Structure 1
């Protein structure tokens, strides 16, 4: 798969500034800034099992979504080469995302308390640093980045234009398409489809208070106009249901097609 699930090489350069803290030693840096790999954070935060540490990441994601601070760039889900070269799930976490993961960790672990303290200090340092005036070079880089993003958006909109009306036959009265209908379009079943959407970070697995779980669009996927979540009732039970917009089906068709070619 492509997008956020591309395979990362294990030889990514470390950050240039390495301190005595174990969190400094696993800190990395690139043109986008400093970041930490979740698998490495798992070890220094005292977690033996990835599954339990990933629970902390999911809680951090929900915290970010509930405060409208979530971004795919902060919590970038990736594929990393594991033991024997087999790919495994990982996350590229920026400083803010790593801080939220630490705050949502097991409070009984002293390593988690150390992580909370470390990232609180790093966040404060960053806040102080942002108060300094930008240099001309930094301003120029930001300006170029904005122009490049605008050009990319224009290209995406141009590509999407000819597809308008392509899925009208599958739309309900509200212009939405159920995930079962989308699965039929792709020749698969709805469980396989929504699990795949979780893998590529368009959906997330939401656990209900009753213990069940549903795969539902992330807030960013809804805000982008690709998916809608509606509340429905059956036999007195209220539950959320995911729908795709025609633009959402276009997006899935493109990504699904790339997957089948790989």
Structure 2
């Protein structure tokens, strides 16, 4: 059940069970400014990868679950405070809602750390150690943000309002054309070749690359016809830009 509502909207959607406190991803989604579950799910999957990269088990902090929604079944995630914090850290940095979530979970994590500390008076040596630990933690966070910040914004001019890059824009970035770009991506096994009902080629990313958050496929309408349109995320742009020179040199 949700926790007792207090000032912050993140507190209002906080839940508790016999294991402890948690947040549901679908409760967090609107608070982080995401309209589409598919887009927000990419942030959750990136957060799971971040957890794995630290040597921890992702399912302990971001476990996927199925739930009933009317007459259908949909996916959701149970997030610990740490898991929710990393989801915010992996969200769209241009969204003010994401920045608010990052601040909230960072502050709450620190409060929990302080609450867990023993109430007895600390010696001067213990206080000095705590001070040094706090400084070291602050420096690590600053270093991580300094590394992440350039990556977060370096493709901004190629991204649309949803933070995605069309294949035409990606081809322009590489100084090539869409046919050459997507043809190469079929050759290396990232995309699968698919013929449309009108006889044209419509190359689509393979499912693992969509699940990883590198590419997104949206159903769009033009001239009364619905067709899939491929977009690259910033992570997908990084992947293509890194690999493209090797192709060009081959």
Per the normalisation by structure 2, the TM-score is 0.48
- When the two structures are superposed, what TM-score results if normalisation uses the length of structure 1? 0.46
Higher RCO (CA-CA < 8 Å; seq separation 6+): 1
